A and B are shown apart, each in its own frame.
Chain A
């Protein structure tokens, strides 16, 4: 009798442990209803973006009688990696341009875009950015280009006028010097390829050959671009955000520690934190090789073999419609990814017209599968550009990037 009770207690204990273990693997069963609730994981720029995406999804969910939960990731790449490895990825997520090729090559993504009815509405450059092995995988949700953001008050205080807006490197140096005062540095941007690369392109360089088969990182043009950045940094008119106690250059602009920054349309998010900030946007100054800027985009990623693909494809179609994209623009400043909506955007927001204009000559940053870790290494070298040797940095990049490209093409 006593023995039996003990056996029971022990079995109960084992059962509880087993139950605990079972819980950890998440819920696989349950919910058999036709309208499954959907989850969206986004890398949000702030509360405004999260709310806009949630509102749009709710509107779609209401007509489709389902429920959509939008989660803003604190670290999107990490959370996505965790979701996929745990066999439990979100139904829909922001797929960033720099990780797209890696994800596509690892067969994480459903190539749904080619079957969507609105697949032809997007800018060709954006379609190309989300094409892997000539398959259009996912629809771009918006795009951004880089521009020169100028603090209007500091600009006026330095005695500069609209005609002084820099058109080339020489005038950029001149105004940056004029704008540099005790507490303010003339120019600031992140020490990363996604900013400094524009200088290399403006000098006429590029990291890949036209056919995309060879890395051309250590060319004279790229060295010239990097040397220009080094020149600005050593002259003390350019500082990187970390030296200005800022997480990114927009913060430095808002705090008044930088008079000019190179950022994208997301800069409008600053109005929440710094309501008194006044700024104007200009196209990036041209280098010896002409005008150049980067275009960045995220697409709406759907995991491969997703059980909810039908629903999410319909949701994506709704989210990428011109009307909805313009609503997103109003909420957090992004430029619509469809050509027709982008035209409306440029007329509605004339201040941001330089960003849209930039897309005429913008290129996508290099992002083939496996390039991300090489670019990350390049970025870490760029932090020391002020005292570094542009040629040495680029020859290291040449070697690493070529080996990554060979690996990517070998697959």
Chain B
């Protein structure tokens, strides 16, 4: 890399710039210059496409030529309305995709986080022999291409594949995994004698789907994808947890042992709270990643069976490229974007550092009380308050 003076953002004081000469002259200019490639790349490949997509979502572009030409007209929220409130197939498809993805997220995010944490704790043990072997093995699915793993799963879960052979050997009959559109909760309800589509639940409530549809749970085919995704991503998150675990000093552990904490107490009262920032990262990454699932869907059936593996990301692709409704497709993408942002903020709110607040609140009250008579004399308290 260059050994030139560090680039500075254009915050340089006017004094500096006006002076012209001197060793620090023109730093702002260089700052812009050196960041220019990155700015151009981000602008061309990220910012511009996003605004273009936003424009497509509110225009009637038919997919012919550039979206920015005089024949393309602004249609306001028409595309969004078509997807959200048309009462037709477009709305139902979108509702179905949200339903599928919702159950997918509900199952994947907690399970993959728990599994990743469990694996990380196991391979972090000092007494475990061949630790690096296990670490590599668990991380391996994450390094392998999603396409390859999905292909292997397609063979494993074929109706006469390895999984069904094992089930058959145990005396049961496995389902035709990828062709089974029944929802998991519907199957369970069926066991308890609840018939198909009970009339109480059969009228549409939201996005053209009835309660019965919303409460179906993931379909059998979707369950395979859930297993597949948990299998691939838990290795990645294990790595994050492992790094965080190794940051916890041995003295903390010893201190808790001296205080008489057993292994469970130690884990839940000492280790887990110290992992909170990592937990937040893992949950956020998991949430964002699972709402955007596409590759596995594209390879395994493209929404089949009976649209139970249709996800918003895949629906956006299909609406755009297959049905040539580019506006609707872009609108779906932006609705998905909004969903992800809202859920991430919500999760942030739920997971915010309550522990710290609880400690901080009495402390600051105490300090406030102490400050009250002569606040000006204690600058450190003011600093604390501003933290």
Contacts and interface: CB of A to CB of B under 8 A. Distances in A.
Interface string A1-36: 001001100100110111001000000000000000
A243 B158 CA distance: 9
Interface stretch (B30-38, B100-108, B266-274, B353-361): B30-38
Contacts of B4: 6
B64 A107 contact: yes
Contacts of B45: 21
A210 interface: no
Contacts of A387: 196
Contact of B37 (A14, A87, A102, A108): A14
A245 B174 CA distance: 14
Contact of A85 (B40, B63, B161, B323): B63
Given A13-B37, A21-B40, A242 B64 contact: no
Interface in A270-291: none
Interface string A240-261: 1011110000000000000000
A46 interface: no
B324 A81 contact: yes
Interface stretch (B119-127, B176-184, B230-238, B281-289): B176-184
Contact of A82 (B33, B319, B321): B321
B89 interface: yes
Contacts of B181: 383-384
Contact of A377 (B2, B89, B322, B326): B89
Interface string A184-212: 00000000000000000000000000000
B227 interface: no
A136 B5 CA distance: 69
B37 A77 contact: no
A87 B64 CA distance: 7
A106 B304 contact: no
A87 B323 contact: no
Given A14-B40, A383-B181, A106 B62 contact: yes
A381 interface: yes
Contact of B30 (A6, A18, A84, A403): A6
A324 interface: no
B142 interface: no
Nearest to A102: B324
A403 B89 contact: yes
Contacts, number: 102
B88 interface: yes
A78 B93 CA distance: 19
Among B40, B45, B159, the one with the most A-chain Cβ atoms within 10 Å of its Cβ is B40
Contact of A18 (B33, B40, B159, B305): B40
Contacts of B8: none
A351 interface: no
Contacts of A16: 37
Interface string B162-186: 0000000000000010110100000
A384 B89 contact: no
A10 B66 contact: no
A373 B321 CA distance: 12
A10 B33 contact: yes
A380 B303 contact: yes
A107 B37 CA distance: 40
A380 B92 CA distance: 13
Contact of B62 (A107, A240, A373, A400): A107
Contact of A17 (B40, B158, B196, B307): B40
Contacts of B62: 106-107
A374 interface: yes
The 4 closest A-B pairs by CB, nearest first: A242-B179, A10-B33, A81-B321, A17-B40
Interface of A: 3, 6-7, 10, 13-14, 16-18, 21, 77-78, 81-82, 84-85, 87, 102-103, 106-108, 240, 242-245, 304, 370, 372-374, 377, 380-381, 383-384, 387, 400, 403-404
Given A107-B64, A108-B64, A384-B305, 17 more contacts: A13-B37, A14-B37, A17-B41, A81-B322, A85-B64, A85-B326, A103-B324, A242-B305, A373-B319, A373-B323, A377-B93, A380-B303, A380-B307, A384-B181, A387-B196, A400-B89, A403-B89
12 contacts: A21-B40, A85-B64, A242-B159, A242-B178, A245-B159, A372-B323, A377-B89, A380-B303, A380-B307, A383-B181, A383-B305, A404-B89
